[in-house]
Structure 1
Amino acid sequence: MMKSYITKLLDWIKSKFWNKELELAVVGLQNAGKTTLLGSLATGEYDEDTIPTIGFNLKEIKKGKVGMKMWDLGGQPKFRESWEKYCRNTDCIVFVVDSIDISNMEMARHQLHQLISWPSLAGIPLLVLGNKNDLDGALTEEELIEELNLRVITDRKIACFSISAKDMVNIDITMKWLTTLPKLSKQPQNE
């Protein structure tokens, strides 16, 4: 009884400081710029010494009254099978793609559609970010939508932006989209 009262009190106090806490999974093929993106979101600056993620990293970011816990998941083939586990019960899946790496676009499309086909991920909003638009030959948002076959995804809220984590291009609209997401109610999932 006392524990319940204390939990409610702590939740009330917490609500006075943060409107909501979101949990996000950031996935995509290796070298798409996921870790660089999280660093840019957290600090507002590009860090050229970013080390690629092996396995996963957790980064917590606060923007205004929104706290975000972001799981940065490794994109190497051996880590992709764990994506679904980390994406369960999140408020958004952020799929980052290297928008100049045309040779891997088919693989990115396959991995994205395979991931969102999991019943445990049904309805979770999806944000697709085409990173590296600061480089010549980067796909536009419209080209990303076509290449990744995003128009067939109709079972969830979805957005696609062309960004540069290095030059902070469209990071503002990315954050705005993320911070306006509703908090999803979590349902326990069986392993």
Structure 2
Amino acid sequence: MGKLISKGRRKRDARVVMLGLDFAGKSTLLYKLKSGRAVETCPTVGFNVESLQTPCRISFTLWDVGGQDNLRASWPHYLEDTNTLIFVLDSTDTARLPEAMAVLEEVLSQPSMAGVPVLLLANKQEVPGALAPAELGERLKTTEQNSHHGAFLAPSLGLSSPATDCPAVTKLCSSIVCVSSASAGMLFARAI
């Protein structure tokens, strides 16, 4: 009977949700990971979803959810049964960083986020004047919700580099693999 049960089970892809403020670069990142190249996108109204496989051969479904203020009320619904959260920060938009931090705290306070690994992506690093990940990390460490997660910094590549060369993708692989570990961490990296 045990064999029948094990044969009947189908392995489910990991569910990864990508959130962040509007214009942070979530859709661009999604399609860069999907196609390996940068594509022009428009603001997401609702969500985009793609099935992906990482270089370390982990399959996952990536949900890119629109970041406009009027769409954020629906975010808790997307967080249900999430294995990993990617929160994208626009490193060039320092004026909206406090808003992004407040939104991140709200997301992390959701009951469904208990034990879920979080990958913070400091996006748009190739743009002159972008805040360095270390500086963003220091600012984020000051919040209570973020202090319950560790921060791990990783180098990044620009949009013209292959998605498979990005250390953030490797961090994503690790976070999905470690989803069952007792302590979820917050990974902090620069996006591709």
TM-score (norm 1): 0.79
Within a 5 Å distance, the mapping from 1:26-37 to structure 2 comes to 26-37=18-29
Change (3 A) 1:160 1:70: farther
Asked if the contact 2:19/2:86 (under 8 Å) is kept, the reply is yes
1:38 lines up with 2:30 in the alignment: yes
Which of 129, 132, 141 pairs up with 2:124? 132
Asked if the contact 2:48/2:64 (under 8 Å) is kept, the reply is yes
**How far is the alpha carbon of 1:50 from its aligned partner?**
1.5
Within a 5 Å distance, the mapping from 1:28-177 to structure 2 comes to 28-47=20-39, 49-63=40-54, 64-149=56-141, 152=144, 153-156=146-149, 158-159=151-152, 161=154, 163=156, 166-168=159-161, 172-177=166-171
Identity among equivalent pairs (%): 30
- In the other structure, the counterpart of 1:189 is none
TM-score (norm 2): 0.79
| Residues 106-144 of structure 1 deviation map (CA, whole Å, 9 limit, x = unaligned) | 100000011101122112111110111111110111111
1:25 lines up with 2:17 in the alignment: yes
Residues in 1 aligned to 2:124 and 2:7: alpha-carbon distance in whole angstroms = 45
Moved more, 175-184 or 33-42: 175-184
Structure 1 counterpart SS, 2:159: coil
Change (3 A) 1:164 1:76: farther
- 5+ unaligned residues in a row in structure 2: which ranges? 181-192
**How far is the alpha carbon of 1:156 from its aligned partner?**
4.3
Change (3 A) 1:156 1:23: farther
Q: How many residues align?
A: 175
Structure 1 counterpart SS, 2:166: helix
- 5+ unaligned residues in a row in structure 1: which ranges? 186-191
